[in-house]
Amino acid sequence: MLVLSPLLVPLLTAVVTVILQRHQRVQQGFSIAGAAILLLCALWLMQDTGSNGRISVALGNWPLPFAIELVADRLSALMVVITAVLGLGVLVYQTSIADTAGEHAMLHPLLHGLLAAVGGALLTADLFNLYVWFELILITVLGLLVVHDGFRHQEAAFKYFALNMFGTLLFLAAVAMLYGTTGQLNFSGLAEAVEKPELKAAIPVYVAMLMSAFLLKAAAFPLFFWLPASYHTLPAPVLALIGGLITKVGVYVLLRLMGEVFVDQPAIFYEALGWIAVATMISGVLGAAYHWDLRRILAFHIVSQIGYLLLAVALATPAGGSAGVFFMVHNILAKAALFLIAGIMWRTAGHYDLRRIGGLYPARPLLAILFLVAGFSLVGIPPSSGFWGKFLLVQESFVQERYAWGGLALAVGVLTLYSMVKIWLEGFWKPDPRGAVLTGSTSHLGTAYAVVLVLVMLLLVTGLYPEPLIRYTDAATAYLWQGSAP
Amino acid sequence: MTLLVLLSISIVVATAVYLSLSRDLFRVVIGLSMLGAAINLVVFAAGRFASLTPPLLATVEDAPAAAVANPLVQALVLTAIVISFALLCFALVLGAALRAEAGSDDTRQMHAAEPVAWDADKPPELED
């Protein structure tokens, strides 16, 4: 039952918030309460998997491998907790007057639907069920894109739809072929079936299809164009949730499938994945360097950071996986914090374009410090959490004698620093080009500041005391690429 | 049977790819939904065409006596059809709204979310 809670709690909250759509305050209250319960359930689940290991639930009273199986282990439990933290944070932030773009009655149901879909994708151990959750993610994100009236939202939604739909269909085709070849859809069943010598020749083709689909979903080079075309039209809290989570779910699934199910694949896959990862890092960071709009800079940085996560999958060892999961936790928190800070900057300075704003440092020193911590964490300056993530990743690439990958990952860090310094100099340091001194009240930004403060504190604690999280991710990923489920 | 289905899948996929690479908004939508239909057929074919007998058991039976049609792929295809139908409806409404606002169904005219730069060196400013 506990394993089902990351699905049931948000789904139930979504239903309740639909019923309450005419009573905005009540709806908001129930919505935040639902997210808080989700976080409690997620923490309980993490505690449970920590002591009992893998928990599996086979639905529909069918024996395995025919039933749809949901599995919580340390890895998925950690991801569910991060999802719940982000969900709660975003909903609390939504109560402030930072860039929340008004409150449509369908916003809360869609946000909870998205949380449920992400929870399902994290927990499922069935390939077709995974497809259903990805479709649900797609439809809720589309809903969140168009819920805000306006031509550019619809246009962004269309671009998002066309490319992601293609990815989902590719995924479904791969699922069908794998089922046709092995007769299995369950992860453990598939992991056994693909080891059969007579299937060795056919499986890599379908795995390549599956990988391409998830690379599209994860916004990897050269399939990331849907992301910078659509994300920046969203208001800050929704953007923080979607930008923080969705692409990472793609990488998470890739890590899980490659490390747990399709363990023994040709070396060329990992070689290719490594270079795709490097190309993703570089193209993302260069795209960010060109832009002056805060949202677009940060959206391109999502692409760049996805490269690091893919590099972790390409290294294909438990140590690489551990570094990747650590980096993912850090990155989700840092990215969400930066988007939320951008929302406060928009409310305080009046614009997202860095050429138009300035003077935020003397006017809002607290915001400046929060940005500094989150931004430097994204760059990876010691002793921030990003430093440890990159350190572990680059260390593992050097151990495997992948000097080019590790070296380029470090070089991309310098370019990330360029973007963050650009935001710092233009947004915070230079005087306001309009000559105005910002004196607007911050009275209704309290909850927004509180959420950002909590996220930044989490980043700081992870950076200053990374040992527990590293130990946790080491334990969570120890079984990857070992050819046996825990 | 398999060969026939294979042939029709490849024709539908070719048509779908042609349509979805078009610049016309509605052709893209129709193309993608045709691609969905083709892939539903792939799922169906993955279950093999062993028998046309419906997979129904009498109450006393534990397993079917003779070969029956694969019920799993039917369930999968049904799920996929429901989902893709919902997405098709959404995309059509979205396309109609876009067409009404832009006054054109040419995707090259869609620059509201990503405006064209007014200066070769500097990126464009976005509205809030």
Q: Does B101 touch chain A (CB under 8 A)?
A: yes
Q: DSSP 3-state assignment of B15?
A: helix
Phi and psi for A293 in degrees, rounded to 5?
-85, 130
pTM of the predicted protein model: 0.93
Alpha-carbon distance A148 to nearest alpha carbon in chain B (angstroms): 12
pLDDT at B128 over 60: no
Q: Supply the pLDDT for residue A486.
A: 43
Q: Distance between CA B51 and CA B35 in Å, rounded? A: 26
Chain A contacts of B86, Cβ < 8 Å? 139
Q: Does B125 touch chain A (CB under 8 A)?
A: yes
Q: Report residue A44 CA to chain centroid gap.
A: 22
Token pair for A349? 């300075």
Buried b (16+ CB within 10 A) or exposed e, A173-194: bbbbbbbbbbbbbbbbbbbebb
Alpha-carbon distance A167 to nearest alpha carbon in chain B (angstroms): 11
> Span B56-67, mean pLDDT?
76
Q: Is the Cβ–Cβ distance between A193 and A182 less than 8 Å?
A: yes
Please tell me which of the candidates B39, B94, B110 has its beta carbon nearest to residue A172: B39
User: What string of pLDDT tens digits covers the 486 residues of chain A?
Assistant: 789 999 999 999 999 999 998 988 899 999 999 999 999 999 999 999 988 888 999 888 888 878 899 999 999 999 999 999 999 999 999 988 777 677 788 999 999 999 999 999 999 999 999 999 999 999 999 999 998 878 888 889 999 999 999 999 999 999 999 999 998 899 999 998 888 888 888 899 999 999 999 999 999 988 999 999 899 999 999 999 999 899 999 999 999 999 999 988 889 999 999 999 999 999 999 999 988 899 999 999 999 999 999 999 999 999 999 999 999 999 999 999 999 999 999 888 888 888 888 888 888 889 999 999 999 999 998 888 999 999 999 999 999 999 999 999 999 999 999 999 999 999 998 888 887 666 555 667 889 999 999 999 999 999 999 999 999 999 999 888 886 544
Q: DSSP 3-state assignment of B106?
A: strand
Helix axes A318-349, A74-93, angle to 10 degrees: 0
Q: Does B39 touch chain A (CB under 8 A)?
A: yes
Alpha-carbon distance A233 to nearest alpha carbon in chain B (angstroms): 7
Give the chain B residue nearest A127 (alpha carbons).
Answer: B76
Please tell me which of the candidates A162, A180, A229 has its beta carbon nearest to residue B113: A229
- Residues in chain A whose Cβ is within 8 Å of chain B: 128, 131-132, 135, 138-139, 142, 146, 151-159, 161-162, 165-166, 169, 172-173, 175-177, 179-180, 229-230, 232-233, 290-293, 295-296, 346, 351-353, 355-356
Helix axes B25-46, B71-102, angle to 10 degrees: 180
Q: Supply the pLDDT for residue A320.
A: 93
pLDDT digits (tens, 9 = 90+) for B83-112: 999 999 999 999 999 888 888 888 887 777
Q: Supply the pLDDT for residue A24.
A: 86
